[in-house]
A = this chain, B = another copy of it.
Amino acid sequence: MKKISDSTIRRMSKYFRSLEQLIDKGVETVSSDTLAEMDGITSAQVRKDLSFFGTFGKRGFGYNVKSLKKQIENILGLYRTWNVAIVGAGNIGRALTEYAEFKKQGFVIRLIMDKDKNKIGKQVHGLTVKDFAKVNELVKEEQIDIAIIAVPSDSAQPVADKLVDAGIKAILNFAPRSLKVPKDVLVKYENMAVEMESLSYYLSNKK
């Protein structure tokens, strides 16, 4: 398979959401122009992104909404569920255990861990906070595929090291610092201030 860029994959996620909205509205066929407009990009970009994964739709007829959604679902691995562990039972970690978009997309939170003795054993939306010291066994027991790091910045690297030792190959990091991991482990970063900075940029340059 060709090397597909991160931004293409991110746009595939956007197309997926736009297609869901179209299905809700009862729309059956969609043009690349419409998809492009929904996502604020060019139709050439839409066609280029989709072309990486094969031929969808017929020239001049647009795409069948349901079938395109199904195909993107397969591409993104959303046809199955993924077992997810959260490290850090603070505000963000706890909020994520109930995040509806995770459930909807098949990301099932099976495990929340912390090293704080005051948090271990407490209930968080139906899960018991487990001791991060037992990460190796816990990850095996729950057959975890993806780990989310929601700990303070200083602890993020040691936590990542232990997750890698436990066999985790995919990490979503909420701590605002970049992590060093082996080549076969993928880390994605989630920093909610980044989108805020696009807003402050906009407000600063608009006046």
Seen from chain A, the residues whose Cβ lies within 8 Å of a Cβ on chain B are 1, 6-7, 9-10, 12-14, 16-18, 21, 38, 75-78, 82, 84, 91-92, 94-96, 98-102, 104-107, 145-146, 152, 169-172, 176-178, 184, 186, 188-206
- Report B-chain residues with C-beta under 8 Å of the C-beta of A99: 91-92, 192-193
- Pick the 5 closest A-B CB pairs, nearest first: A77-B204, A77-B200, A91-B95, A170-B199, A101-B193
Contact across chains for A188 and B193 when beta carbons are under 8 A apart: no
- Report B-chain residues with C-beta under 8 Å of the C-beta of A195: 172, 188-190
Residue in B14, B16, B146, B201 whose CB lies within 8 Å of A199: B146
Count the copies: 2
Bound CA span A94–B178, Å: 26
Residue in B76, B84, B178, B203 whose CB lies within 8 Å of A197: B76
Bound CA span A14–B52, Å: 27
Residue in B13, B177, B192, B198 whose CB lies within 8 Å of A6: B198
Contact across chains for A204 and B76 when beta carbons are under 8 A apart: yes
Answer whether A170 and B202 are a contact pair too, CB < 8 Å, given A7-B7, A94-B91: yes
Q: Smallest Cβ distance from A142 to chain B, in angstroms?
A: 16
Answer whether A169 and B105 are a contact pair too, CB < 8 Å, given A94-B95, A188-B195: no
- Report B-chain residues with C-beta under 8 Å of the C-beta of A201: 9, 12, 75-77
Bound CA span A124–B14, Å: 32
Q: Smallest Cβ distance from A184 to chain B, in angstroms?
A: 8
Choose among A101, A178, A192 the residue with the greatest number of B CB atoms under 10 Å from its CB.
Answer: A192
Q: Smallest Cβ distance from A119 to chain B, in angstroms?
A: 15
- Report B-chain residues with C-beta under 8 Å of the C-beta of A172: 192, 195-196, 199
Q: Smallest Cβ distance from A147 to chain B, in angstroms?
A: 10
Q: Smallest Cβ distance from A40 to chain B, in angstroms?
A: 8
Q: Smallest Cβ distance from A158 to chain B, in angstroms?
A: 17
Answer whether A146 and B94 are a contact pair too, CB < 8 Å, given A76-B201, A170-B203, A186-B202: no
